[in-house]
Amino acid sequence: MSKQPTINLIETLFQQSKEYAQNRFDLYKLKAADKTASIASAVITGIVLFVVFFIFFIVLNIGIGLLLGDLLGKASWGFLLLAAIYAIAGFVLFSARNKVFRTPVTKMIFKKFL
């Protein structure tokens, strides 16, 4: 009995194993590219939305400051009152930062990567 069929089977098996390994590697590269693209698009969308809402927020606060200033008699008093309100809100958010920001953001990042 010749060893040629056995050698052919081994060569075929080796070739298929190489193709399988290459396909698995390509699959991992595609999955990594997909996750990277997903994260990048989420970051870019977040940045654009942040800029739009930031501009809206600034203009809105100028209007509220002027309105409060008109009600209080001086524009500077309106902006001072608005600043005090934001200082209080900032203190409350700072004291609850782990619960409000860190935990949800960490969960979102892990969800994106897994």
pLDDT tens, position by position, 12-70: 888 999 999 999 999 999 988 888 888 888 889 989 999 999 999 999 999 999 999 99
Q: pLDDT value at position 96?
A: 86
Whether pLDDT at 113 is above 60: yes
User: CB within 8 A of 18, min separation 6: which ones?
Assistant: none
Inform me whether the pLDDT recorded for 114 exceeds 80.
no
Average pLDDT, the chain: 88
Query: How many structural domains is the chain composed of?
Result: 1
CA angle 65-66-69, nearest 5°? 85
Q: Which two tokens stand for residue 25?
A: 């590697």
**Domain span at residue 34?**
4-113
